[in-house]
Amino acid sequence: GEGVARELRGGTSLVRTLYGGGLPEDPLPLLLADLSAVAGDHVLVFDDLRPVPGDSPVADLIGRLAESAGERTHIYIAARAALPFPTVRLKLSEGAGEITEQELRFRREEMAAWLTAATGEPPSAAVLDRVEQLTEGWPAALVLLTEAARQAGGLAAIPAVDDLAAPLPEDLTAYLADEVMEGLDPAVRSFMEESAILNFVTPAACEALLGRRDGEQMVDRLCRVHRLLVPVGPGVYRYPSLLQRFLLGYLRTRGPDVLNRLSRMCIAPAWLAEPEPDRLSQMAEHLSPAQKAQYPWVALCEAWYLLNAGQAERAMGIARLALRSCEQAGDRRGVFYSHVLLSDCLFLRRDFARSQEHLAEAASALQPEFRDDAALLALKQAVLAYMTGAGPEELEAGLRTALVLYVESGDLIGEAEVLDVLGMVRVRRGDYRSGLALLERSSRLLRAAGIPEHETGLNLAWACLESGRFQDACRLSRPLATGSRKVGRRAYALLCLLIAHTRLGEFTAASALVPLAHAAVEELGLPHLRAWLNAALAALHRLSGEAPAAAPDGPGPEGAHVPERVEAVMLHLFSTGDARAAAQIAAKTLETLQERATALERTLLSLGLAVARFRTARTESRREAVQALQRALAECQRRGTDFFVLHEWHLALAVVVYGLAYNVQPAYCVNLLMRMAGELPASVRLRGIRLAGSELRALPAAWRALSDEAARTALAALLPAEQRQQMATLESGPTLITIRLLGPLAVRLGDAPVDLRALKRRKTGQLLALLLAQDGPLPREQIIERLWPDLTPRAAHTSLRVALHHLRRLLEPHLGGRTRSRYIQAEGGLIWFQRRPEVWVDLDQFRRTLQQAEAARAAGRTEEAARLLEEAGTLYRGDLLSDDPYALGDLRDRWRQRWAEALDWLGHYYWLEAGRPDKAIHAFQRRLALEEYHEPTHQALMRIYLNTGQPDRARQQYRACAEALAAHLGVSPSPVTESLLQTAVAGGAGKSV
């Protein structure tokens, strides 16, 4: 009433009544009359109605005033709780408007504009982040924080939200103390200070941490009555960031005994999944080593914090200090947790033997009344047994013991931890459906317990990665990689992201993660993580097609990290081409590290070994390789790891080609092929998957094994463009083969010549000539006698088998699997060359032409016979295998003799019948090229020269004859030749001789 009368210059009836000693039954009419006397519009402000009970007359008066005030009266009410009177009629009549706390908050761009206007200094992104995290847009806090920064000399003085050592500005602290904490019950204040170490406040968490039984009532009171908690989910709350900083500042001043008690409760099993020791550790930084020794739980809390930050060495030192203090104080539970912590530090360093020793000491200190501790110990022992190769039955038993204990104690986080480990165990041994279900359930439990998204689901992300669900792996690991407060968790999440992006063909995104992953791994300094990162980088370089030099070298067989060994096998198979090294590493890993490998890793190693066996096999049967592939594919089917095709697509396509070509589970291979075609990233399919030479040789057989057109289309679509063209040639028919045996040996496949050195190797060319020189099959023994007469029977048969295999590969480079050679046939101890329409052999054509000429001559068609012999002359480029003069001499002599006889007839035909001495001379000269000491041919040439008036050339021919006879036979010319010489000397030109 006084405010209306004095400030607004309104009526005074209510004041006069009250000062007159009267108490009106209803003051509202008097108040409305006084307000109506105010000139113009006016405002009434009610700031914070929280102290006004809802059933009080004051609340009723304000409510009725809000409904009855005139149009010139404007009422503003500020409250952090629900108004103490009903507002339904006001809202329905549009007589009132409501502005929520969220609508009053400053947005980021508004905060930037405010800071710039208030300080004259545009805030950097980092400063703006700190302001946003501290104030969350709260106007009062923003104003006070800005003023404090302006007085301190700039925005850089604003502290980070998690820097507990930096004090808040005094004005802001005083405001929070007066406006927020003033009037609160001391028990409520103590509850708030101690629960402020929690990121997320739940009744169960508060009861476990503070040792109270009224957690639900206190949380409900802070939320609904005082509005000091912000809901973030069903039953899960948090303190505003600035209020949490303020509360932690007060908690820091309460002494080490409180910090020790909170530390002891914080390290209870329920908090191992998401501990809050980092805040307690920061608040205990000012404590001396002596005080930490006096309060060992504070030291243990600091050790937990350091371990989660990746500083295992420092954590071990502090944990040993805490262990000594607990032993001296007789604190058996402290001894228990000290040993557990030391075991975890050694576990992280992969020192499993010493880790087990500390777990044994922890078991000795275990107290029966603490069932949570027993559950924790059972869980740790099961995890350690898992890492040291224990059997699945032993693991399941230990984990189920821990699970029962956690469920009986109602510990959701402990239950989730056990399910998480159990899920990973099942995933690693190949039970993906059950394992993924357990991991998903674990994540749901953790989220229900208030653990945020950026701290849960790491193992689920890795399980999705292993099972080929790369998009899910990215979705789950991305929040962990960017938001987790644990460097170890961030490192594993970054590795998961890096590998997932690589397998999705998103090589640019994967490369962008490399510096972050490298920094996180180096910060931890763990050798097995470095090895894992090296393997991931090598796969990125290999699958993206970068130069092999850019990728780190794979480990030798002595390397003990399975992912690095798997990558070494893939590098040797698909980058260096050293299949022998790949086979050695794969075989040794499967032999020595089988239990450490996941189901996927075992599948990749087994299939990699099979592919390496195919590439290094020297015989046609490749029995060992076929058996290895049969075992690997059977194991792949049994474990359900056919998603390996999405991890290693080069390996997958090689497996499909060999499986189809050699009839190894062809239906399953078709399924793998169709999954690749349907699920591989578009970028991978667009670029194509290049096959190595050995797979290319098996490709035609694999192609012919595909009867379904869709499967053939899928196979062709997965190949790069140049190899896809080979599929077209398979559809158009076999390649033309040209073989020349007369003269130097030469073989062409289409337009490509076969390497002459390969033809000369292992007597392959001689074998080819021997088979082609015959009209039918040859017995094996006869071939051996001709080509390897000096070897023992066993060695000779081996040489023949190898030569046949080599010859098949030269003529049919894409021959693979169990497909029989189209040309080289063997049956019943006989071997022969099967003539095909696409094969052209000069010796065959030469033989046919000679036979046709002989038939024409016998029929009296001498002119036709001469034409055919001229054609034969174009085929006879020289003696059979003239570049290998010591091979197959009897065959060479036989064909030379047949050609010599043909030339004899041809020369005489041109001279005596056709009247073509020029052609006769040419024919006889070719005859002498075969045997320059053949005297009848010299005589024929001398006669032609004499008959054509060329006595000088006749004398030259005599001299050539005499020299050849002397050189080759050591004899002089015959009397006939001498008489021809005398005729030439006498100048017998034109005489018939």
Tokens of 584: 């050695």
Would you say 582 and 569 are in contact if contact means Cβ atoms under 8 Å apart? Answer: yes
Phi, psi of 24 (to 5 degrees): -60, 145
Pinpoint the alpha helices (H) of 429-506.
432-448, 458-466, 470-483, 487-503
Of 92-101, 538-547, 578-587, 730-739, the range with the lowest mean pLDDT is 92-101
* Cβ-Cβ contacts under 8 Å for 622 (sequence gap 6 or more): 613, 614, 662
pLDDT digits (tens, 9 = 90+) for 927-950: 999 999 999 999 999 999 999 889
Would you say 880 and 895 are in contact if contact means Cβ atoms under 8 Å apart? Answer: yes
pLDDT over 50 at 555, yes or no:
no
Would you say 371 and 349 are in contact if contact means Cβ atoms under 8 Å apart? Answer: no
State the pLDDT confidence band at 470, using cuts at 50, 70 and 90.
very high
**Upper half-sphere CA count for residue 241 (Cβ side, 13 Å):** 18
pLDDT over 60 at 271, yes or no:
no
CA–CA gap between residue 540 and residue 529 (Å, rounded): 16
CA–CA gap between residue 542 and residue 529 (Å, rounded): 20
State the pLDDT confidence band at 557, using cuts at 50, 70 and 90.
very low
CATH architecture of 253-463: Alpha Horseshoe (1.25)
The DSSP line for 669-726 is HHHHHHHHHHHS-HHHHHH--PPPHHHHHHHHHHHHH---HHHHHHHHHHS-HHHHHH
List Cα–Cα distances, 234 to 229, 231, 434, 450, 924, in angstroms: 13, 8, 28, 9, 110
**Upper half-sphere CA count for residue 90 (Cβ side, 13 Å):** 16
State the pLDDT confidence band at 552, using cuts at 50, 70 and 90.
very low
CATH topology of domain 734-904: Arc Repressor Mutant, subunit A (1.10.10)
Residue predicted with more confidence, 322 or 252: 322
pLDDT over 90 at 920, yes or no:
yes
Of 2-16, 114-128, 394-408, 755-769, the range with the lowest mean pLDDT is 2-16
pLDDT over 80 at 368, yes or no:
no
Average pLDDT over the chain reads 83
* Cβ-Cβ contacts under 8 Å for 746 (sequence gap 6 or more): 738, 739, 740, 753, 756
H or E element: which one contains 21?
none
Model pLDDT, residue 524: 83
State the pLDDT confidence band at 79, using cuts at 50, 70 and 90.
confident
Q: Using the CB atoms, write b or e for 331-369: b if 16+ within 10 Å.
A: bebbbbbbbbbbbbbbbbbeebeebbebbebbeebbeee
pLDDT over 60 at 238, yes or no:
yes
CA–CA gap between residue 82 and residue 258 (Å, rounded): 35
pLDDT over 50 at 491, yes or no:
yes
Q: Which residues pair with 743 in a beta bridge?
A: 880
The rounded percent of the chain whose pLDDT value lies above 70 is 87
State the pLDDT confidence band at 347, using cuts at 50, 70 and 90.
confident
What is the phi-psi region of residue 229: left when phi exceeds 0, alpha when psi lies from -120 to 50, beta otherwise? beta
CA–CA gap between residue 569 and residue 847 (Å, rounded): 53
CA–CA gap between residue 629 and residue 655 (Å, rounded): 8
Model pLDDT, residue 549: 38
Taking alpha carbons only, the member of 42, 11, 47, 46 closest to residue 29 is 11
Same fold, 253-463 and 734-904: no
Secondary structure (3-state) at 264: helix
Model pLDDT, residue 23: 67
Tokens of 360: 């044994």
Angle of helix 470-483 versus helix 458-466 axis, rounded to 10: 150
Angle of helix 649-661 versus helix 599-616 axis, rounded to 10: 60
H or E element: which one contains 194?
helix 186-195
Model pLDDT, residue 883: 86
Tokens of 664: 């190894």
One-letter amino acid of 893: D
Residue 213: count other Cβ atoms within 10 Å of its Cβ.
8
pLDDT over 60 at 992, yes or no:
no
What residue spans define the domains of the chain?
2-103, 104-180, 253-463, 464-540, 734-904
Pinpoint the alpha helices (H) of 274-351.
277-283, 289-294, 296-308, 312-329, 332-348
CA–CA gap between residue 196 and residue 190 (Å, rounded): 10
Model pLDDT, residue 152: 76
Residue 911 is given by DSSP the state I
For the ranges 70-79, 281-290, 646-655, the one whose mean pLDDT is highest: 646-655
Model pLDDT, residue 595: 66
pLDDT digits (tens, 9 = 90+) for 610-643: 999 999 876 545 788 889 999 999 999 988 899 9
* Cβ-Cβ contacts under 8 Å for 591 (sequence gap 6 or more): none
Of 359-363, 451-455, 856-860, the range with the lowest mean pLDDT is 451-455
Residue predicted with more confidence, 745 or 329: 745
Tokens of 548: 């092999």
pLDDT digits (tens, 9 = 90+) for 33-46: 888 888 888 888 88
pLDDT over 80 at 254, yes or no:
no
Beta strands at 746-749 and 752-753: parallel, antiparallel or unpaired: antiparallel
Model pLDDT, residue 2: 67
pLDDT over 70 at 507, yes or no:
yes
Average pLDDT value for residue range 794-811: 89
H or E element: which one contains 606?
helix 599-616
Model pLDDT, residue 273: 39
Residue predicted with more confidence, 371 or 663: 663
Would you say 836 and 825 are in contact if contact means Cβ atoms under 8 Å apart? Answer: no
The DSSP line for 208-226 is HHHT-S-HHHHHHIIIIIS
Model pLDDT, residue 42: 83
Secondary structure (3-state) at 839: strand
CA–CA gap between residue 900 and residue 520 (Å, rounded): 84
CA–CA gap between residue 966 and residue 878 (Å, rounded): 24
Would you say 653 and 687 are in contact if contact means Cβ atoms under 8 Å apart? Answer: no
Model pLDDT, residue 594: 60
Tokens of 111: 């905060």
Would you say 239 and 250 are in contact if contact means Cβ atoms under 8 Å apart? Answer: no
Model pLDDT, residue 262: 66
CA–CA gap between residue 133 and residue 692 (Å, rounded): 56
pLDDT over 70 at 183, yes or no:
yes
pLDDT digits (tens, 9 = 90+) for 563-589: 889 999 999 999 888 999 999 999 998
CA–CA gap between residue 736 and residue 833 (Å, rounded): 15
Q: Is the CA virtual torsion 380, 381, 383, 387 positive or negative?
A: positive
CA–CA gap between residue 789 and residue 16 (Å, rounded): 141
pLDDT digits (tens, 9 = 90+) for 204-235: 777 766 777 888 888 888 887 777 887 766 67
Model pLDDT, residue 551: 37
Q: Is the CA virtual torsion 67, 69, 73, 78 positive or negative?
A: negative
Model pLDDT, residue 477: 95
Model pLDDT, residue 452: 79
Phi, psi of 200 (to 5 degrees): -130, 130
Average pLDDT value for residue range 295-321: 80
State the pLDDT confidence band at 843, using cuts at 50, 70 and 90.
very high
Would you say 96 and 59 are in contact if contact means Cβ atoms under 8 Å apart? Answer: no
State the pLDDT confidence band at 733, using cuts at 50, 70 and 90.
low
